[in-house]
Amino acid sequence: MPKTVVIADDHPSFRASARAILQAEGFEVIGEAEDGASTIAAVGELAPDVVLLDVQLPDLDGFAVCRELCLNGGPPAVVLVSSRDACDYGRLIEQSGARGFIAKAELSGAALADLLG
Amino acid sequence: MSARLLFLAAAATLGLALVGAATLLVITSDHEDNKATTIALAVTAGISFIASGLVAVWRRPENRTGYLLAAVGYLWFFGALNESNNDWLFTAGGALGSLVFGAFIHLLLAFPGGRLARRRDLWLVLSTYALVLTGSVATLLLVEVPNPKVCPGCRSTIVVGSNDGLETVLTVIVTALSLALLATVLVIVVTRYLRSRGALRRALGPVLGAGAFAMFILALQVSIDTYSVGAAEPLEWVFLAAFATVPLAFLLGVLRSRLARSGVGDLLLALGRGTPIRDALAGALADPTLEIAYWLPERERFVSADGKPLPDQPEGRATTLVDHAGRPAAALLHDPMLTHEPELVEAVVAAAGLWLDNERLQAKLRAEVAFLEAIVNASPSLLCSVDREGRIANLNDAAWQASGYVEENDVKGQLFWDAFVGPEARTEARRRFEEAAPAHEAVSFEHTFVNQLGERLTIAWSTAPLYDEDGSVRYVVCGGLDITEREQQHRQLQASEERLRAAIDASPVAIVEYALDDTITRWNPAAERIFGWTAEQVIGGKARHQPPGREAELAELFRRVRDGEVYMGVESKRVRSDGSQVNVAIAAAPIRDSDGQVVSHMALFADITERKRHEEELLASRARIVQAGDEARRQLERNLHDGAQQRLVALSISLRLAQSKVSTDPDAAEAVLEGARTELAAALDDLRELARGIHPAVLTDRGLRAAVEALAARSPVPVEFETPDEALPRPVEAAAYYVIAEELANVIKHAGATMVNVRVACEDGRAVIAVSDDGVGGADPGDGSGLSGLADRVEALGGSLSIESPPGGGTRVTASIPL
């Protein structure tokens, strides 16, 4: 059974690209969100396995959304993405409770699968 | 006196005895034919010499003339021994009878003083005595009958041997020497007479005349006798007559003195008639050379009648002091002859004493006047006397020099105001003088005038009236002090004070001077302007512009300034009359007098409110520029991030997706690649737009006109534009571009305009950029329209930005930047 994914990003072009490549590589994209609040709502509603979460969202930033999602203690697994490099964020990623970080340009089903184990 | 009288009595007795003896000898003589005549003449001659000699001795015992006269008389009687019948007495008469001629020549050469004044005269007299004695004795030694014609029987008792040849030689030698001596004495006597003057000549005349004549006859007699013995006999009578005249002539001189003494009466008459005393005295004393000197006891010297010190007297003048009322009154400088007539001088002087004393007082007065004149002329002050018409009657050297005239007399007689007052004030000076008449009370005034030498002088005058006998003003005495230099210094000081005052009045800085008791003594117009109080309100009172609550601190500051500290550029706040505060830069310094004592202090306040505002604006502007830069970079990052970066990320993912599908599903891969190409083109567009936003390349490469053209081309609202032909400096060009770009963006976003007009022009050394539209207006520079950023950019170049945007009236933004 393929893992379900919600993509949270404010850029439609990225959401479309991510959906295409993840679905092509065996993930099932069950929802998209364009800001923090709708992300939290979508996760509550859809209960995906994975949330692909952009660090920069128009309302809440990705770390705050991540803390909110992880507070509930279980799934989904949150993977942070950004067009910036991981080193731009320092230890924020480690401390966020997210499963991992993938640079947007490096996104692929395999890379996501690697993080999920 | 009695001794002299006894002596005179004895001498007279001797004379009488000699007369008796001589008479006896003549009467008893056996060889005298003319007994009566001989007695009459010879005795008369001898007796008159003795008598006049004794009279002279009685009158003037100190003069030897009397003795000499008497001696001639006594010696004369030796000649009577020749009448004796006794050979011994006859021989004695022959030896001594000629001595009388030596005494006679002695008398003539010593007359009138009785002393031989010269060594030559002494030698002559001694030679004469020697010659007559040796000649007579030699004859008696060589000739047994020395006078055979007169007395053939009279023989020399001392003859040593008769020798006719030797006798002839002796006679020739004695005769030659006698003639030579007589000629010499004659020449001397005549010369003396001719050289004498005045009283001396008159005194010498009769005596020397008679004497010289007698000697001439004697010489003639001797000469003739030499050739023919006895031929000269008649001359003997002539000689005797002339010889006997000498004492008569002497008595005549004495008589003339007595006559002169009667001139005292004439003197008093002449003085009474007003004849000048010198002339009267010169007449009475018969000495036209007479001068009078007057004694000034306070100066202890004699002065002449006009009060001047007496010049040194030439040699040969005699002085007689005249006392009056027990003190020296005058001295007569006169011919030394007059000393022989002391009684005359005494009588004349006694008679003239009162006049002389009067003259002495006048001389004293003149001397005092001369003394005063010397003081007046030596005075550095100007002094002049002015008559009732205002004419200068007299002036001293200082006044004369100040007038600048070459000749003192050129100033005298001039009107005072013509000589010492400038033309502009002459009328006024004349009017004042005329108004002061007739009292001419003392006044003081100053006048500046240009004197004859072209020197500009200022004189401070004081006047005082000078009255005549009847109490009316005769002269006005004007005393002046040359104050030209003082006046000049005063004017320079005034000018310098005036400059200082003008500088203080014109100063943009408030200048306040505080007296030592902290009251304000100076408050310039700038202080009025800056603090709002007028000078009348604050001068004399305490400072009102000091901020409340700082009194103690400022009092301490005042104290330190007065101790000599100088403050400069201290920035603080002060209070205005309306209660508002003003930012000031303060400088303060003590003011010292010429002794270095602090007499006040001055504080200078520069109003720096405007400067402070500018500084604050500058700080804010700088902060805004920095902020705008930050914002621009943030925007740039956001734009990159949101635009091109996102597209490139998507492109990257698309390429990976295409890659994974290219072998399994080539059609799908192709579709993905097509999408990727579109994405890439969009990314490039984004980047280009972004780069343009960072700095327009066209501005750099092609200039402002091309850049504005590009902006206009991209604008959806039609743009009309106008740019200058000349290139603007780069920073100005960039500022102009951003003003236009930002405004066009604003117009497009907010104005709803149908047309935009852009105009860039160079006017009066400034670049003027104007962007106007026909839109809705009502733009607010503070609403984030970017206008404040533009203003900062323009102001950073020293320019200004203005905006007019009435609601409904379009918007016009104008930037003006100096080139």
Q: Could you tell me the two tokens for B520? A: 């304000």
Residues with Cβ within 8 Å of B480's Cβ and at least 6 positions away in sequence, in order, are: B381, B382, B383, B384, B399, B402, B420, B459, B460, B461, B462
DSSP secondary structure letter of residue B339: G
Residues with Cβ within 8 Å of B654's Cβ and at least 6 positions away in sequence, in order, are: A17, A20, B672, B673, B675, B676, B679
Amino acid A24: pLDDT: 87
Q: What does the alpha-carbon distance between residue B343 and residue B263 come to, in Å, rounded to a whole number?
A: 12
Q: Is A83 on the interface with B (CB under 8 A)?
A: yes
Question: Which range scores top for mean pLDDT: A63-72, B529-538, B745-754?
Answer: B529-538
The residue of chain B nearest to residue A19, with distances taken between CA atoms, is B653
Where residue A58 falls among pLDDT bands split at 50, 70, 90? confident
Q: What does the alpha-carbon distance between residue B321 and residue B333 come to, in Å, rounded to a whole number?
A: 9
Residue B660: pLDDT over 70:
yes
Where residue A79 falls among pLDDT bands split at 50, 70, 90? very high
DSSP secondary structure letter of residue B389: T
**Lowest mean per-residue pLDDT among B86-100, B574-588, B669-683, B800-814:** B86-100
Query: What mean pLDDT comes out for the span B142-146?
Result: 76
DSSP secondary structure letter of residue B572: E
The residue of chain B nearest to residue A84, with distances taken between CA atoms, is B641
Residues of chain B with a CB closer than 8 angstroms to some CB in chain A: 641-642, 645-650, 652-654, 656-657, 660-661, 672, 679
Q: What is the b/e burial string over B414-447, where b = at least 16 CB atoms within 10 angstroms of the residue's CB?
A: bbbbbbbbeeebbeebbeebeebeeebeeeebeb
Is A14 in contact with B648 (Cβ distance < 8 A)? Answer: no
Residue A50: pLDDT over 90:
yes
Residue A47: pLDDT over 70:
yes
**Considering only CB atoms, which chain A residues are within 8 Å of B639?**
none
The residue of chain B nearest to residue A57, with distances taken between CA atoms, is B642
Where residue B315 falls among pLDDT bands split at 50, 70, 90? low
ipTM here = 0.87
Mapping DSSP onto H, E and C, the string for B10-23 reads HHHHHHHHHHHHHH
Query: What mean pLDDT comes out for the span B480-484?
Result: 89
B662: left (phi over 0), alpha (psi -120 to 50) or beta: alpha
**CA-based nearest distance A63→chain B, Å:** 18
Whose CA is closest to B414, among B440, B382, B390?
B390
- Tell me the C-alpha to C-alpha distance, in Å, between residue B660 and each of A103, B653, B668, B672: 19, 11, 10, 11
**Considering only CB atoms, which chain A residues are within 8 Å of B672?**
20
The residue among B642, B649, B672, B673 with the most chain A CBs within 10 A of its CB, best to mutate, is B649
Q: What are the tens digits of pLDDT across the range B172-190?
A: 888 888 888 888 888 988 8
Nearest to A21 among B646, B657, B679 (CB): B657
The residue with tokens 């008791």 is: B517
Taking only residues 1 to 60 of chain A, the set having a beta carbon closer than 8 angstroms to any beta carbon of chain B reads 11, 13-14, 16-18, 20-21, 24-25, 56
Query: What mean pLDDT comes out for the span B68-76?
Result: 88
Q: What does the alpha-carbon distance between residue B789 and residue B792 come to, in Å, rounded to a whole number?
A: 5
Where residue B496 falls among pLDDT bands split at 50, 70, 90? very high
**Considering only CB atoms, which chain B residues are within 8 Å of A12?**
none
Could you write out the DSSP letters of every residue in B112-132? TTTS--SHHHHHHHHHHHHHH
**CA-based nearest distance B682→chain A, Å:** 12
Instruction: Enter the pTM of the model.
Output: 0.41
Q: What are the tens digits of pLDDT across the range B687-709?
A: 888 887 777 778 888 888 888 88
B175-180 long-range contacts, Cβ below 8 Å, gap at least 24? B175/B222, B175/B223, B175/B225, B175/B226, B177/B131, B177/B135, B178/B131, B178/B135, B178/B219, B178/B222, B179/B219, B179/B222, B179/B223
Q: Could you tell me the two tokens for B486? A: 């003082």
The residue of chain B nearest to residue A10, with distances taken between CA atoms, is B642
Q: What does the alpha-carbon distance between residue B711 and residue B75 come to, in Å, rounded to a whole number?
A: 170
Is B649 in contact with A108 (Cβ distance < 8 A)? Answer: no
Q: Could you tell me whether strands A4-8 and B800-804 are parallel, antiparallel, or unpaired per DSSP bridges?
A: unpaired
Q: Could you tell me the two tokens for B777? A: 């207006």
The residue of chain A nearest to residue B673, with distances taken between CA atoms, is A17
Is A83 in contact with B660 (Cβ distance < 8 A)? Answer: no
Where residue A9 falls among pLDDT bands split at 50, 70, 90? very high
Residue B202: pLDDT over 80:
no
Amino acid B256: pLDDT: 62
Residue B554: pLDDT over 70:
yes
**CA-based nearest distance A5→chain B, Å:** 17
Is A105 in contact with B657 (Cβ distance < 8 A)? Answer: no
The residue with tokens 């310039």 is: B524
Whose CA is closest to B399, among B351, B337, B461?
B461
Q: What rounded mean pLDDT belongs to chain B?
A: 83
**Lowest mean per-residue pLDDT among B149-153, B520-524, B721-725:** B149-153
Q: What does the alpha-carbon distance between residue B676 and residue B669 come to, in Å, rounded to a whole number?
A: 10
Q: What is the b/e burial string over B754-776, where b = at least 16 CB atoms within 10 angstroms of the residue's CB?
A: eebbbbbeeeeebbbbbbbbbbb
**Considering only CB atoms, which chain A residues are within 8 Å of B661?**
24
Nearest to B646 among A11, A21, A25 (CB): A11
**CA-based nearest distance A57→chain B, Å:** 11
The residue among A17, A83, A102 with the most chain B CBs within 10 A of its CB, best to mutate, is A17
Nearest to A83 among B649, B660, B679 (CB): B649
The residue among B638, B639, B642, B646 with the most chain A CBs within 10 A of its CB, best to mutate, is B646
Q: Please, what sign has the CA dihedral across residues B59, B64, B70, B73?
A: negative
